[in-house]
Structure formats: C-alpha cells, structure tokens
Structure 1
Amino acid sequence: MTLLWRIILVILCPLVTYQHSLPSLPSYIGAVVEYTPVTKKSEDGRSPGDANADNYLKFIKKAKERLVDIIVFPESSLSLPSSDNKTIARSEAASYIPDPKDNVVPCHQKQDDPKKFASSLAKLSCGALDYQMYVVINHREKVDCQANTDGCPADGFLIYNTHVTFDRKGRVISRYRKYNLFGELGTNRTAWAEPTVFDTDFGVRFGQFICFDILFESPAVNLTRDLGVTDIVYSVHWYSELPYAFNNEVQAAWAYATDTNFLVSGHNNPVTGSGGSGIFIGRQGHAHTVSRDLPANVLVVSEIPKKINGKRTLAIDRSKLYTYEFDRSEISTSPEATAQPSGHYFYRTTDLSNYTSELIVTPEKNDETHYSKRLCNHGLCCDFELRVGFSKSIFEPGSAYYRYRLVAFNDQMSFAGRGSGRTQICGVIACLNETIDSCGRLLEPSEKMALPIKLEVDIKVPINRDERTVFLPVTLQRSGPVSSPLPLNVSEFKFVEDNERVEMGLRKARDDLLTFVVIGRNFGRNGAAGLPIFSVVIVLMVLASLVLAY
C-alpha cells in the first residue's frame, strides 16, 4: 500500500476499532491457513520469500472481510531460499528479527539500516498495520556470531526456525525460536526451550510452539500446565504417519488433552504427506479441519469461545464458520480448476514389531460377538471390552476390507528417527489383512471396498500418578472414497480420566474406524529431539576426556 493510504488508515483507525473483539466479549475471531508455498524464483526475479509474503497479504485481506482478530500462517512456507548451494541457502532468506521489548515496526525500517529486515518480514509487518490484525508467521531468523568460534558456523550466522507475532500496529510483540528440531540440518536451537507468550487487546494471552514441539513436554505442555495458557498458535510442516500421527489426528488429540483453543496452520505439500490445519476448541471439539491430497490454499475463520476461569460460556457456533479456497487465478500454487482429488495420501507407517497385538475375532456369519481381552506390554496392561459385528450381506467376493487389531505398547518410541519419547499405547488399529505388517496402511481408492465390520470398543488404561504422563485420545476415521482421514469429533467418543485409570470408548458402533487408541506420553522417562550435530560432537568429546582422565 502507498504511504498516503497508510496515513488515511491511521486517521480512520479510531472510527473502525469497534470491529475488533473487546476484552469484555466471550469470544474472538481467529483464522488459520493451509498454504502451498512458492519455492522457486519467478521469471521476473522475484524471490520465493517475496512471492509468499504477497500471497500471505491476500489471506490477510480476505480475513479482514470477516473481522478477524488474529491470523496464523504455517511453518517453513514463507522465507524459502532459491539457491541450490546449501551454504548460501542456509541464510539466504533469513532475516534479523527484532527483540519484542524494543517495540520495533519492521514496516518502518530505513533503507540504510545496517541490519535491514528481509522484505518478506517488512511486508507482513505492513500487512498487520494496514489491516489492523494480529499476524503470526514463521520466518527463518539470522543472528550474528563470531565465525568458527563456540559453535558459530563459518558464515557468521546462527539460524533459527522462528515464530514472529505482529500486533495491529505492525510491531513485533513476540519471538519464539523452535527448540525440538525435526532434523533441520543447518538450523540452530537455543540452549533450552523458552516458553513464549504474548497478550492481545481482546483479552487473550497466547502461547506458541512449532511442529515437532508438540510431542515434547517443553515448551508445549509447560505452556498449558505450568503457565495456565488457554490459547495456542501453532505453525506446522507435518509429515503424516499412520496409525497415530496423521496431521489433524495429532492436533485434535493434543487440543482435547490440554483443553486449549488450538489454532493450527499447515504447510501443504501432498507429495511429502504434509498438510493439516484446523481450529480446535479444546474438549468442545474441532470447529473445522483441512487436509487435502492436492495442493491447496485455504482460509478458515471461526468464532473462538474464550476460556475464562477454566470455563467457556459459549459453544462452537458453526453458523459463524467461514472457509475460502483460493483458485489459481488468485494464488499460483492452487490446483487447476479441473483437478480432482484422488483419495491417495502419502504417509509413513509406524514400526509395530515391538507391540503386543492380537487380531480382533469377527463372526463368520451375519452375527455379532461380545468379548473381553487384556493385552500387556512391558508392564502396561490394557483392558478391552469389544462388540464386533460382521455384515456378510454387504460383502462382495473380491472386495477389500479393513481388519482390526488390539495393540499394547510401553517403551521408548522413535519419532521418525528424529527423536524419541516414552510412550504408552492401548487401542485398536485398522489393517489391510490379518498380519500386523499390514496395519497403519490405507486401502487404495481404486480398490473395490466393503465395510462389513462394525466395532464398539471400550479401553481402560491404568495410571501411575508418580509419573509425568499426559494421556491423549487419538482417533482417525475413513471419511469417504476421496476424502482425507479425519479425527472423530468429541460427541462420537467418551474419554474419562481419574486417579486410577483412563477410560475411552465409542458412543456407538462404527464401520469406518482407522485408529482408536489412548496414548500416554510419559515425560518422566523421555527421550529427546535430535541434537544439532555440533552438540553431539561436544558431548562425545566430553565423554572421551572423562574416559582418558579416568
């Protein structure tokens, strides 16, 4: 926007502040974004960072039409490098990011500033100012250091994966550097996780974390359990894994377990199984979720009930839900108008070889059976009550259909080789056949499919209150021949936790289950996210010196 237009906006601002949610109101308006980024330099020489920032402004402008107070953008979808040289690419699109205590507005930067901000950062500061909206982005950050000393790389920069929040005046009011890195070679991390919050003029304090952080106690659980934060903004570039970590599946489970308002924006790239966005209202369930098997650029807007003194006075009002999908004429990375969903999703599968499991018995005829079962694994015993129906009348010869297994697990779990954590699992998962190797896989849309098995299940898991464990209801359902698997909403299951056990059960029989498990993340016996390579080297050197000294 021109300087004149900004001056006009500043003059008119007092006249339009009534559009902002007030601290006294029981709700605010939030927006999340599913976005497929530009990854290459354009023919006219425009960088990916500038192209993505311009696209972000289109989302912000559209969100302003719905009086949005705060909008969240995905991880690693803005400041992308264009160079194929890894040394150059590491810092190419990174920017200096001001300390929030300095109240800096990057939109107002001077051209001769020796620490000039990247134009992608400055543009979005201007967008927050122009459209009077809190804007949360994920941007690569560079910090000067003394080259080749104390872990500083040869180029003289520490590089962070950083959340940045602008207020309605375009000021940087929050900065969080991702701690639990998912590999991310060339990216640094802070000495410890730094739980970071920011306050808004509509009376809500937000916490924030990024992608892989969700699987660890710090900073994610620290924010809600220790700091009492009720609303979280979360940027993610997820890589889906079945049966327990399909994008929205994880998001819904975490929001329910912590009873937080969870605003999730996902980097969309179906080729790598990346995507998944949504607005989750704690134990009220999800207002809306997005997960696509095609490139997509989707804005989701919802009224979000505030949680005040531990309670929400409003329920989810879906009449106030708004979604807008940008087409190719608006954003170049959108699919062609003629493109149709295939129903094929890329994903990893979890190694189930160390699980205790048992195939669920199904009746041979059009019948129903009811039975109890206990499975144990490394000291954890899961109790199941099952009612299994089989409708042979709807099953045609040659049709493919899901079988189901009970599973129990209590051990260190690898998170795609990028970290690990003590994890307890009790539940039911879908399989392509009778073998456990076929579990955590989806039938192909091209296959002739039947759904002859209906399940009712109730799961009981014992609790050891001496350990720091968070229990999550992890669910996934098949939602149609060309629709993404989605988590169950809260009205479809029960989840009760007391001092002795967790109990989770379906409210009615279902023929579309993919995953229905209780997962306990035991942070008292936790693993860790992958350390940067220089940290590993330092640890090894220290150990070696101790051995030699001994």
Structure 2
Amino acid sequence: MSDGLCDTHTVIQVALGSLTSVLEMAAFLTNIFFFFYILSVYKVLTMDTYIAAVYEHAVVLPDATETPVTPAEALKMMNRNIDILEKAIKTAAEQNASIIVTPEDGIYGWRFTRAALFPYLEDIPDPAVEWNPCTDPQRFGPAPVQERLSCLARINSIYVAANIGDKKPCKPGDTMCPADGHYQYNTNVVFDDEGKLVARYHKYSLFQGEVQFDTPKEPELMTFNTPFGKFGTFTCFDILFHDPAVALVVDLSVDTVLFPTAWMNVLPHLTAIEFHSAWAMGMGVNVLSANTHNTTNRMTGSGIYAPDYPRAYYYNADMEDGHLVLAEVLSHPRHSPSYSVVQWSEYATSISGYSTNSSEFVRPIFFDNFTLKALEKPEGNQTTCQKNLCCHLSYSMVEKREDEVYALGAFDGMHEVEGEYYLQICTLLKCKSTHLDTCGEPVETSSTLFQSFSLSGTFGTSFVFPEVLLTGIKLAPGDFEISPDGRLVSRSSISSTPLLSATLFGRWYDKDPPAKNNASTNNYSNDMLILTIYAAIQSLIFYVANL
C-alpha cells in the first residue's frame, strides 16, 4: 500500500513538473508573441518614408483698405481661400500624403494695416492644452478658421500646416503693450490627422517690421513628433537667421521643417527653389516649402527638398494658378548612409590658391560689393579673394562662347539692405552680357555648357548652403555633389544643360548684429519698396536686353 502511494506521489510530481513546463513554455510563447506584436505595431506606427505635399497658392486678396471690415466679411474672404486649399488637401490625401503645407499669408493675403488685419485674427491657444477645434470648436471662443482647418485634417486623415493670425490681449503691467492693447502675430499652425492642434509658431524674423504684426519677445522653438519623424516649423524670413531655424536642427534634431513662405525671388542667389533646397542640403533635413504664388511680386517656387537632392519642386513665373507638389521623403534623413557632415573649408585651406593673369573687378550683387574675376579661357583654375574668404574654382567648358561671359566672385561682409546678416559667398555666375559691368545683374537664361567644375572656399563658418541653378531657373538634382572636404563638384550630367550659377552661400551667424525686437518698427513698406524697385530694374534690364 505504501509503495502504491509512493508511486502515485511520483506520478503526481511528474505531472505537475510537466504542467509547470507547459505553463512556462506557454508564458514564453506568449511573451514572444507579444514582443512581435509590439514590434509589428511599432513598425506600423513608425514609418521609414512618407509622402509629403506642399501647395503653392495664388491667394485671393481682399481689397486694400485702412478701414477694418466686419468679422463676418473677413471670414467670408478667408473661406474663399480655404475653399481652394480644401481641394488641394483632399487631392493630397487621395494620393496618400501624410502631411500638407500651405503658404504664408495663404488665407488672407498681406494688404493690411495693423487695424485692418484685426478682424481676420483668432485666439490660437498653446498646443499644450490638448485641443481639437473640430470636435470642440467653442472651447476658446469663436475660432471658425481653426475649426475648418482642423476638420479638413480630421476628415481627410492628413496633417495640415497653415499660416494664420493670432491675437493676444496684453497682460496687466506689460510695458511693451502696443497702443491698441493686444499683440498680433504671424502664426503657423499644424493640425494632426485627427484634427488636434499640435503646433503653434509665432514668426520671429518679421520682414524688418511687417506693420500688421508684432515680434515675439523671444524666438520660439516649436516641434512635434509624428509616426514619420520629428518636425519643426518657422516662416519665410526666419530661414536667413540662426534662431529659430538653425536651432531647431542643431539643438532639437528635427527631421523635417515645415516652411510656409511668401518669398519674393531675387537672382542670382536668393530665388525660393534655389535657396530653400540649398538650406535643406546644408542643414541635412527635409524642407517642405510652400510659397505664395503672385507673379506681380515675383513670388513663386515651392518644393519638397531632401538633404541629398530636391524630390520635387515647382517654379512658374508665367501662370497665375496654384499648384500641388507631392513626393516621398525619408522620415529620418540624417540616418541615411548618404548623409555625412561636411568640413566646408578643409579643401580650400589645403591649397595655396590658383595664380592667374585675370584682373579683379568689383560689382554689386543684390547691393553687396563682390570681388570678381572673369573666366577668360575655356578651362582652367581661378582664385578670387575678399577679406578672409578665398574662393577656388577649377572648371572646363564644353565650348567657350563669344557671346557669354562667366565670372568667379567672392563676398565676405555684412549684408545691410532688407536685413542685417553676415555673408561669405563663393559664386560662379553668368554675367548679363559680355560687358563685365553687368556681372551680378539678374539673368534667367544661358547657353554655355560646362564639362565640369569644382568650387570651394576658405569659409569661417560651418553653415554653408550649396546652390546650382540652370538656365530657365531650374534646379540641378543629381548634377552635383558635395564632397566631405567642402567642394561643390559637378557630375558628368551637368554638361547636358547650360549653367546660370553655382554658389556656396555661407552664413556666419556669430557675426550678425544683436537681434532687434521689431514690434514697434515700421520699415515693411520701405523694404517692399526696395525689393519692388530692384525687381522692376531686373524686368527693365531683361526687356532692354531683348529689344
């Protein structure tokens, strides 16, 4: 009997041991399943690439007036523009875009005094309040524009970035309060694919005092996270300064910048597609740039720019219609094997410079006096210096034409026209005519083909933006590369299309003057006048040259 009990006990122990093993195995398999489930969910929620969209919008402008309209009239005008943006948003969503950016001033335009703008403004809360205007529109008072944008994002399951106006009453004791008792801000907003407000950014670098807006007391570093990377946003003129633009990349490591703009093109170095794509390459991030379309003010040029090359862009100074641009980009471009940090002065400082018989001459380019040398031979080496910057060029033309002249230029100094900022620029450019005194004047077409070129400079800054512009104001994706030692080097495909310019555009932020608060300045009309006159001179020169 006792032996039987012992046998039974042993069987029970074995059975329990087996059950324990089975349970342990089940737990192990459950953990494995859970791990792969979480991994699969993570992969769904984190995307290696995404489709981006930008819309270049021909804004429906209100009549210019100094007398404020009623809020109802202002909303009616804004809805005319949002009706157009709605079609672009729906089309982008239908093509699987995850995010769309619309332009600065894209909902009401720019023809305003401070008082006349007020009916167009809404109170935009801090995104930290966790607000969805589509589902809770009255939480912060009337906000019909935010409600509609939020619902467009929610209905179409797409992130929507737009530029509108924010109003904020002054706090008691605010000694900087404007005379009308409130602040008005040029503001970017972003709504996620459920309609939630995830970003609000007040433009810091106003165009030297856009009179209808106030400057925030400090630059705002606004970021938000998505399943397809970390995003930041700033507006138009901000891109030329360190804060917030550079700080978002260097300090906060954003992957993509959302960039609403109303950019007036200035040749040869500051057309929208040229500079914005160069900034993306120089900073190693995606830039989703949506420009206002207004040919009278030379506003055109939108694109989806990646660090290696522009994915898609649009530039059209002949038509008045808007245009939607879509392209696929990497969610984390700095993680790409093709991305590398560039030592911009390494090559240029390693050589002694090229000695030539060409004489130097000085010509203004967008009001900055460049030191230039003409390229007198079909191939060769050239060095041009100004102050501490020496620019080195090695080049070979397919054919040296008698009707076109190119020059190598250098500028090392403070730009002081529509703003104050320190530049170091090396540029190879086509002159307007065969007369050297036209070098630096805007030119849109060329016929000279280059077999190859290599441009470098002894830059004192690590912030350099490489530009290559082809005839007809076209970019050159795939036609050049940046070497780790700081050379802008053409590829063999460059010989298929005539060159307008190749430029290394350096910004030395440490040499900029102290930032000024522009809230009380009134220079916007003066700056617009300067650029309008400059644009008129460009047009006159182009007209006379083609008589």
Give the one of 223, 228, 234 matched to 1:209.
234
**How far 1:418 sits from its partner (Å)?**
2.6
**How far 1:353 sits from its partner (Å)?**
5.6
SS of the residue corresponding to residue 124 of structure 1 reads helix
- What is the RMSD of the two structures over their aligned residues, measured on CA atoms? 3.0
2: distance between equivalents of 1:296 and 1:311?
36
Q: Which residue of 2 aligns with 1:57?
A: 86
Q: Which residue of 1 aligns with 2:287?
A: 262
Give the one of 491, 498, 513 matched to 1:512.
498
Structure 1 residues 353, 422: closer, same or farther in 2, change over 3 A?
Answer: closer
Q: Which residue of 1 aligns with 2:35?
A: none
8 Å contact kept, 2:284–2:334: no
Is 1:421 equivalent to 2:421 in the alignment?
A: yes
**How far 1:475 sits from its partner (Å)?**
1.6
2: distance between equivalents of 1:33 and 1:309?
25
Which residue identity does 2:458 align to in structure 1? P
2: distance between equivalents of 1:385 and 1:114?
61
Q: Which residue of 1 aligns with 2:274?
A: 249
Structure 1 residues 298, 386: closer, same or farther in 2, change over 3 A?
Answer: same
8 Å contact kept, 1:180–1:530: no
The 5 Å alignment of 1:34-53 reads 34-40=56-62, 47-53=76-82
**How far 1:352 sits from its partner (Å)?**
5.5
SS of the residue corresponding to residue 188 of structure 1 reads coil
Is 1:469 equivalent to 2:462 in the alignment?
A: yes
Q: Which residue of 2 aligns with 1:386?
A: 395
Give the one of 198, 210, 213 matched to 2:224.
198
Give the one of 278, 303, 314 matched to 1:278.
303
Counting helix residues as a fraction of each chain, which structure ranks higher? 2
The 5 Å alignment of 1:136-285 reads 136-145=161-170, 150-183=175-208, 184-200=210-226, 202-283=227-308, 285=309
8 Å contact kept, 1:418–1:530: no
8 Å contact kept, 2:388–2:458: no
Q: Which residue of 2 aligns with 1:3?
A: none
**How far 1:389 sits from its partner (Å)?**
4.4
8 Å contact kept, 1:161–1:187: yes
Structure 1 residues 391, 469: closer, same or farther in 2, change over 3 A?
Answer: closer
**How far 1:81 sits from its partner (Å)?**
7.4
The 5 Å alignment of 1:341-352 reads 350-351=365-366
8 Å contact kept, 1:469–1:523: no
2: distance between equivalents of 1:453 and 1:131?
46
What is the TM-score with the length of structure 1 in the denominator? 0.75
Cα deviation 1:483-502 (Å, max 9, x = unaligned): xx12221x21121244xxx2
Cα deviation 1:262-304 (Å, max 9, x = unaligned): 2111111011011211111211x11110011121211122222
Structure 1 residues 245, 21: closer, same or farther in 2, change over 3 A?
Answer: farther
SS of the residue corresponding to residue 36 of structure 1 reads coil
8 Å contact kept, 2:217–2:517: no
2: distance between equivalents of 1:386 and 1:312?
29
**How far 1:442 sits from its partner (Å)?**
2.3
Cα deviation 1:131-186 (Å, max 9, x = unaligned): 12111111111111169962322322201111101112212111111111113113
8 Å contact kept, 2:425–2:505: yes
**How far 1:451 sits from its partner (Å)?**
2.1
Is 1:291 equivalent to 2:315 in the alignment?
A: yes
Cα deviation 1:348-400 (Å, max 9, x = unaligned): x94356211012114xxxxxx432222110121112222234366xx8xxxxx
Which residue identity does 1:40 align to in structure 2? P
2: distance between equivalents of 1:420 and 1:486?
28
Larger-Rg structure: 2
Structure 1 residues 136, 533: closer, same or farther in 2, change over 3 A?
Answer: closer
Which residue identity does 1:193 align to in structure 2? P
Q: Which residue of 2 aligns with 1:486?
A: 474
Q: Which residue of 2 aligns with 1:93?
A: 120
What is the TM-score with the length of structure 2 in the denominator? 0.75
**How far 1:220 sits from its partner (Å)?**
1.0
1: distance between equivalents of 2:87 and 2:242?
35
Could you tell me which runs of 5 or more consecutive residues in structure 2 were left unpaired when the two chains were aligned: 1-39, 64-68, 340-363, 524-547
Is 1:107 equivalent to 2:134 in the alignment?
A: yes
Structure 1 residues 529, 428: closer, same or farther in 2, change over 3 A?
Answer: farther
8 Å contact kept, 2:447–2:471: no
Give the one of 25, 29, 37 matched to 2:51.
29
Is 1:68 equivalent to 2:110 in the alignment?
A: no
SS of the residue corresponding to residue 269 of structure 2 reads coil
Give the one of 511, 527, 534 matched to 2:520.
534
Structure 1 residues 25, 167: closer, same or farther in 2, change over 3 A?
Answer: closer
SS of the residue corresponding to residue 188 of structure 2 reads strand
Q: Which residue of 1 aligns with 2:411?
A: 409
Structure 1 residues 97, 280: closer, same or farther in 2, change over 3 A?
Answer: same
8 Å contact kept, 2:97–2:158: yes
Which residue identity does 1:192 align to in structure 2? E
**How far 1:476 sits from its partner (Å)?**
0.9
1: distance between equivalents of 2:333 and 2:367?
42
The 5 Å alignment of 1:71-86 reads 71-80=100-109, 86=113
**How far 1:522 sits from its partner (Å)?**
0.8
**Large movers: runs of 4+ above 6 Å:** none
SS of the residue corresponding to residue 169 of structure 1 reads coil
8 Å contact kept, 1:105–1:170: yes
1: distance between equivalents of 2:334 and 2:443?
42
2: distance between equivalents of 1:87 and 1:309?
42
Could you tell me which runs of 5 or more consecutive residues in structure 1 were left unpaired when the two chains were aligned: 1-17, 315-348, 363-368, 396-400, 445-449, 480-484, 538-550
Q: Which residue of 1 aligns with 2:456?
A: 460
1: distance between equivalents of 2:368 and 2:190?
43
Cα deviation 1:296-352 (Å, max 9, x = unaligned): 2111222222227722699xxxxxxxxxxxxxxxxxxxxxxxxxxxxxxxxxx9435
8 Å contact kept, 2:466–2:505: yes
SS of the residue corresponding to residue 189 of structure 1 reads coil
Which residue identity does 1:370 align to in structure 2? E
SS of the residue corresponding to residue 205 of structure 1 reads strand
Structure 1 residues 270, 108: closer, same or farther in 2, change over 3 A?
Answer: same
2: distance between equivalents of 1:89 and 1:384?
52
**How far 1:526 sits from its partner (Å)?**
1.5
